[in-house]
Amino acid sequence: MSEPILMKGNEAVAEAAIAAGCRYFFGYPITPQSEVLEHLARRLPEEGGAYIQAESEVSAINMVFGAACAGARVMTASSSPGISLMQEGISYIASAQLPAVLVNIMRGSPGLGGIHPSQADYFQSVKGGGHGDYKLVVLAPSSVQELIDHTVLAFEIAEKYRTPVMVFGDAMMGQMMEPVFLPEAEPAPIDRSWATTGMKNREKPNIIHTLYLPADDLENHCQRLFAKYREIQRQEQLHTAYLTDDADILVVAYGIMSRVARAAVEMAREDGIKAGLFRPITLWPFPDQALFQAASHAQAVITAEISMGQMIEDVRLAIKDKVPVELFNRIGLVPNPDEIYEAIKKKAQEVKVSA
Amino acid sequence: MKREFLLAGFGGQGVLSMGLFLAYAGMGEGKKVAYVPSYGAEMRGGTANCLVTISDREISSPLVSDPGVVVVMNHPSLLKFEPVVRSGGILLINSSLAHRDTKRQDIESYSIPTQELANQAGFSRGSNMIMLGALLEATGVVDVTETYNYLVKTFNGRHLDKMPQNMAAIQVGREFMREYRQQSEASIAYA
């Protein structure tokens, strides 16, 4: 294996996209993800691709839509307010069944919010965001290496199901540096028999559209989309469970918070408190059955989020409110492990499982 | 073994480069590393800091509330970060710009006039390299014979023309710290 390289999260996303065969990027700069654009603006022309800085995020997502129709392996990246502007286009891309990768390096919100780390776009991407009945696959890496691995995985899932996939990061993950290995494998060949590439070698034109005026056409279309989504739910759920088998207190966290929570769980274990960590990697499809099992021994569940509490709703649904689920949250920063450790300790005393 | 380094100062003092150096040095020795720069409003307001973790094991959280080694390159950083040094840890103060010694009794603290030393070394822009030398000597965190290679990586192969001056400044910082510690030990012995 080659030497590890020290890389910033945003640059890692950009390099991973190139390794995954992405040659087209359309975007608009916004802190804290601008390095994704800067890196690709330099690197894509070197790789024979194209980078276009659009005049807005609305324009960028529609360029992604167009490029995907033409069969390009394509990506965009932005941060929370910019992703909000893209929602109409994301709904179109999902309805048109096109592969595309979207990256959200989340920042503080609502409104202009701030440029701090955040996880407050869970509802937006996991529950919808754009109009209509569609789903986004949402991946939540927790390290710079995983930003690379999950960007590559996002392209694979997008191709396999012809569907848009979102990769979540946050301001800290975008800026932090860790040693990484870049993927060495060649990207999988792409089936583009459906793409609008002209009539050469084809009898009938390929048509990509999202308009279904007759009611039964629309119903059939939505049924087809959801048959595909059910298949994704069966095949693509990812999670990790750390010390959950005998855990009295189960912490649920994703992304950067899952690393802080893991350190907190280790502190609790050293103190004799049986804590465990469940980390969803796919936020949609949410690994609900795996979480239900991981919580089977738990007396209490804590979800740790950098939001006012969004994933907590999926956690409650998954464990069917069998035990109390509480929120530990901070806004505008990634907390230190001892803050989550204190929350675990307090909960352990409440449910009388402390050492 | 896990060691955390918090490096703080104002923008342009080279604290982020110092952090990068530690990250590359940790990698060079086959360790796990994480480098978290300060970000956000702080960055725009002129102060800069970064947190570097070097560990034998996988690093769970890249954040830590009580780093074992803290470097403060200016007075505001001293005020802000003096309290977070882990008890028994090391605090290195750039006394050219931070105008008092530590008030804490439970840590090892050294005041280093980096600017004056850099001027004496004939490299007035090298105060961060003076501090880096002092840091390497005080912590023994990396094999100093590899310093040149780590420095080349830190600057991504650029500024090679400045390398002799950087190396000289690091050496001045190391020697200053070595004498400083010998004197501290001597004063403890006589006390």
Report the pLDDT value the prediction gives residue A230, as an integer from 0 to 100: 98
Q: What is residue B143's predicted lDDT score, i.e. its pLDDT?
A: 87
d(CA A131, CA A226): 15
**Based on the domain organization, do A249 and A221 belong to the same domain?**
no
Say whether A259 and B60 touch across the interface (CB within 8 A). yes
Together in a domain, A174 and A243: no
Specify whether A93 is located in the same domain as A186. yes
Enclosing domain of residue A310: 239-350
Residues of B in contact with A260 (CB under 8 A): 60-61, 63
How far is residue A102's CA from residue B133's CA, in Å, rounded to a whole number? 44
pLDDT tens digits for range A79-102 = 999 999 999 999 999 999 999 999
Domain boundary among A191, A214, A235: A235
Q: Which of A196, A216, A235 is the last residue of a domain?
A: A235
B40, B64, B153: residue with CB nearest A336: B64
pLDDT band per the 50, 70, 90 thresholds, residue A135: very high
Domains belonging to chain B, first-starting first, are: 2-190 (3.40.920.10)
Domain holding A305: CATH number?
3.40.50.920
More confident site: B145 or A146: A146
Q: Write down the pLDDT at residue A35.
A: 96
At residue A239, the 3 state secondary structure works out as: strand
Q: What is the pLDDT of residue B46?
A: 67
| Cβ atoms of residues B176 and B139 within 8 Å | no
Q: Is residue A54 a part of any domain in this protein? A: yes
Strand partners, A107: A117
Please report how the helices B147-154 and B15-28 are oriented relative to each other, as an axis angle in degrees rounded to 10: 120
Q: Is the pLDDT of residue A105 over 60?
A: yes
> Is omega for the bond preceding A285 within 30 degrees of 0, making it cis?
yes
Q: Does A202 share its domain with A72?
A: yes
A259-318 residue pLDDT tens:
999 999 999 999 999 999 999 999 999 999 999 999 999 999 999 999 999 999 999 999
Classify residue A355: in a domain, yes or no.
no
- Residue A292: what pLDDT? 98
Residue B190 clears pLDDT 70, i.e. is over it = no
| pLDDT at res. B41 | 57
Among A210, A235, A260, residue at a domain's last position = A235
Q: Is the pLDDT of residue A190 over 90?
A: no
Written as one string, the DSSP assignment of chain B is -EEEEEEEEETTSSHHHHHHHHHHHHHHTT-EEEEEE--THHHHHTEEEEEEEEESS--S-S--SS-SEEEE-SHHHHHHHGGGSPTT-EEEEETTT--S----SSSEEEEE-HHHHHHHTT-TT-HHHHHHHHHHHHH--S-GGGHHHHHHHHTTT--GGGHHHHHHHHHHHHHHHHHHHHHHHHHHHH-
Are residues A219 and A329 both part of a single domain?
A: no
Same domain, A217 and A269: no
Q: Are residues A169 and A251 in the same domain?
A: no
Beta carbons of B61 and A336 less than 8 Å apart: yes
Do both A207 and A307 map to the same domain?
Answer: no
The CATH number of the domain holding residue A139 is 3.40.50.970
Assign B45 a pLDDT band (cuts: 50, 70, 90).
low
Give the whole-angstrom CA distance, residue B127 versus residue B169. Answer: 8
Residues A167 and A249 reside in one and the same domain: no
Q: Based on the domain organization, do A30 and A130 belong to the same domain?
A: yes
Residues from chain B that touch A7, judged by Cβ atoms under 8 A, are: none
Rounded to a whole number of angstroms, the distance from the CA of B20 to the nearest CA of chain A is: 9
Domain count along chain A? 2
Tally Cβ neighbours within 10 Å of residue B178: 14
What would the mean pLDDT of A152-172 be, rounded to a whole number? 96
Query: Is A163 inside a domain boundary?
Result: yes
Residue A157 covered by a domain:
yes
What would the mean pLDDT of B47-70 be, rounded to a whole number?
A: 93
| Nearest-by-Cβ selection for B63 from A114, A266, A336 | A336
pLDDT digits (tens, 9 = 90+) for A29-59: 999 999 999 999 999 999 999 999 999 999 9
**Binary contact (A175, B20; C-beta < 8 A):** no
Which residue of B21, B43, B60 is the best one to mutate when testing the A interface, meaning the one whose CB has the most A CBs within 10 A?
B60
Tens-place pLDDT, residues B64-119: 889 999 999 999 999 999 999 999 999 999 999 999 999 999 999 999 999 999 99
Which residues on A lie below 8 Å from B156 (Cβ)?
none
Inter-residue contact A142 to A254 (CB < 8 Å): yes
Contact between residue A14 and residue A35 where contact means Cβ atoms under 8 Å apart: yes
Are A286 and A228 in a shared domain?
A: no
pTM for this prediction: 0.94
Residue with tokens 């290496």: A145
What is the pLDDT, as a whole number, of residue A102? 98
**CB pair distance less than 8 Å for A6 and B33:** yes
Are A73 and A199 in a shared domain?
yes
Q: Say if residues B111 and B95 touch (Cβ distance below 8 Å).
A: yes
pLDDT value at residue B166: 93
Cβ-based contacts of A114 with chain B (< 8 Å): 40-41
Average pLDDT over residues A14-22: 96
